[in-house]
Amino acid sequence: MTSGTTTAPGTDGASARPLDQVVLERTSIPERVAAVLRSWIAEARLPPGVRLSEERICAELAISRNTLREAFRLLTHERLLLHRLNRGVFVRVLGVEDVEDLYRVRKLVEPAAVRELRGRPAGLDRVAAALAEADAAGARQDWFGLGTADLHFHRALTALAGSPRVDELMDRVLAELRLVFHVVPDLRSFHQRCREENRRILALLEAGDGAGAAEALTGCLDSAERELVTAYRERPRASL
Amino acid sequence: MTSGTTTAPGTDGASARPLDQVVLERTSIPERVAAVLRSWIAEARLPPGVRLSEERICAELAISRNTLREAFRLLTHERLLLHRLNRGVFVRVLGVEDVEDLYRVRKLVEPAAVRELRGRPAGLDRVAAALAEADAAGARQDWFGLGTADLHFHRALTALAGSPRVDELMDRVLAELRLVFHVVPDLRSFHQRCREENRRILALLEAGDGAGAAEALTGCLDSAERELVTAYRERPRASL
DNA sequence: GCATATTTGTCCGTATGTATA
DNA sequence: CTATACATACGGACAAATATG
């Protein structure tokens, strides 16, 4: 962004340090670049379908092409970018099949993650916190934030399974789902309904009824999928 | 491998072409390199724990460091390699926590993938084929092949869910599991027992009993996990 | 359909920092 | 503590493929 100077490997100490988000962790530059691009994609600053020019982003982030290309690989692997050989990388545009598959995964994983739960599992507070986040976003009519809160809710749900790998899978799935949200506009009522169902799911979990929560989740995901798929079919503007 | 010549970008046409395995698909060099390394890891030609020297592999594969680094990122993302900043990349050495998490994922995904199945789903022939593969490997006392066939069996099982993303998840999980197999020796009896259980699972599926198959799978995975974990604890030789 | 400009794919050389003997 | 080896990241070069006029 700033800092036109050459930025030697570890010389980003004092004043001008591009791309610092997580200053604490010692991560490599490609990873930090990937994090920046990831957030740009999540915020639709890089909307689905656009091509990411190597040259431009290199200049903007003050990094070299090789470094940027490593970051591209990372995000391509996460399905956020599409790499077309000799043509460049693009923010992915998901098709209806993708939406369906995304929900296939969710319906497989999310209910399974809560079904066997008994008692009051540690981590339920995170689930509740996500609900509160949704309420706050709804109160200030922040629809993007409302969608984010819904993703956080389901992320917290699957985290109850206590598996790092499931967590990672879910992170990816939800990041892809955000691409869907960017294509379908006007999701206020959609997220409102989700919020009510989420509340019910949390109540069931707090009552120790994992099986009931799993069932409610399945229904919730089913209806959400139906709604998204129909909304998606009516809006197939971007090709590719 | 061969061809010590410098191999200019598009000059790999006629005689000397390193890393051709999949000649058909037009993939980029980093992806082909990653495929080669992946197979080397699977065959334990690169056993868990070894460091992959950039310089040496560059020479061996006749590629540049930048290209190799892109391949490294790919495999690191798949958890097959461990990237230690400023120290290099290593074939991952899994800990007991990894084995446990791997099975946590499997117990979540695999039963869920077959539970809702009714009738005789397309794809059951693949499952049966994997069993036949196991029989053949067992007949010629090929224990590595027997393990491979078991992985193929479970891969085919989850493929019944019909979800590309679940397929990919499973590919990764099973690739990691192979890392476990390389550390624990002498898995003959282990795989023999698996084979019998697999046979029963297939029979249940052919009878249209998805729920029964799911239950059998859970039991099968439970006992496999126990056995592997105890075997793993007794053999914590490699540190890191 | 063709010539040209742009962009990607891949390589190489090099400076700097970090880890280890 | 110094020296060495290596990983990190940069920048430039050129061929090939694609897009553009």
pLDDT tens per residue across span A63-91: 999 999 999 999 999 999 999 999 999 99
Question: Nearest-5° angle of CA A63, CA A19, CA A174?
Answer: 105
Identify residue B40 by its one-letter amino acid code: W
Look at residue B118 in the predicted model and tell me its pLDDT: 86
User: Is A186 or B9 the better-scoring residue by pLDDT?
Assistant: A186
Is residue A18's pLDDT more than 90? no
CB contact under 8 A, B104 and A163: yes
Question: Nearest-5° angle of CA B11, CA B12, CA B13?
Answer: 95
- A27 and chain B: CB distance < 8 Å anywhere? yes
Question: pTM of the prediction?
Answer: 0.87
User: Is B169 or A27 the better-scoring residue by pLDDT?
Assistant: B169
Both tokens assigned to B45: 């030609």
Distance between the alpha carbon (CA) of A224 and the C1' atom of D18, Å: 41
Strands (E), chain A: 51-52, 81-84, 88-91
Pairwise CA distance, residues B155 & B139, whole Å: 22
Pairwise CA distance, residues A74 & A32, whole Å: 11
Q: Which of A77, A112, A169 sits opposite B169 (nearest CB)?
A: A169
Of the pLDDT bands very low, low, confident and very high (cuts 50, 70, 90), residue A41 is very high
Ramachandran quadrant class, A62 (left: phi over 0; alpha: psi -120 to 50; beta: rest) = left
User: Is B159 or A232 the better-scoring residue by pLDDT?
Assistant: B159
Q: Write out pLDDT tens, residues A102-149.
A: 999 999 999 999 998 988 888 999 999 999 999 999 999 998 899 999
B160: exposed, middle or buried (C-beta count within 10 Å: 0-12, 13-18, 19+)? buried
Look at residue B115 in the predicted model and tell me its pLDDT: 92
Query: Residue A211 CB: number of other CB atoms within 10 A?
Result: 14
Look at residue A193 in the predicted model and tell me its pLDDT: 86
Look at residue B1 in the predicted model and tell me its pLDDT: 33
The answer to whether residues A83 and A89 touch, using CB atoms and an 8 Å cutoff, is: yes
Both tokens assigned to B10: 């598009």
Distance between the alpha carbon (CA) of B10 and the C1' atom of D15, Å: 7
User: Is A6 or B53 the better-scoring residue by pLDDT?
Assistant: B53
Name the minimum distance, in Å, from the CA of A142 to any CA of chain B: 31
A-chain residue closest to B161, CA distance = A104
Is residue A163's pLDDT more than 60? yes
Mean pLDDT of A10-16: 34
CA atoms within 13 A on the CB side of B128: 10
Pairwise CA distance, residues A4 & A18, whole Å: 10
Look at residue A236 in the predicted model and tell me its pLDDT: 56
Distance between the alpha carbon (CA) of B67 and the C1' atom of C9, Å: 10
Name the minimum distance, in Å, from the CA of B145 to any CA of chain A: 27
Q: Name the protein residue, with chain letter, whose CA is nearest the C1' of D19.
A: A87
Look at residue B236 in the predicted model and tell me its pLDDT: 55
Q: Which residues of A touch B83 (CB under 8 A)?
A: 28
Distance between the alpha carbon (CA) of B213 and the C1' atom of C20, Å: 53
Nearest to B32 by CA among B79, B77, B70: B70
Is residue A97's pLDDT more than 90? yes
pLDDT along chain B (240 residues), means of 10: 33 34 57 90 92 88 87 90 92 93 97 90 93 94 90 96 96 94 80 90 94 95 92 65
CB contact under 8 A, B28 and A101: no
Look at residue B26 in the predicted model and tell me its pLDDT: 64
Look at residue A221 in the predicted model and tell me its pLDDT: 95
Look at residue A17 in the predicted model and tell me its pLDDT: 37
Look at residue B28 in the predicted model and tell me its pLDDT: 83
Q: Is A15 helix (H, G, I), strand (E, B) or coil?
A: coil
CB contact under 8 A, A105 and B163: yes
Look at residue B7 in the predicted model and tell me its pLDDT: 34
- A104 and chain B: CB distance < 8 Å anywhere? yes
- B84 and chain A: CB distance < 8 Å anywhere? no
Pairwise CA distance, residues B235 & B1, whole Å: 34
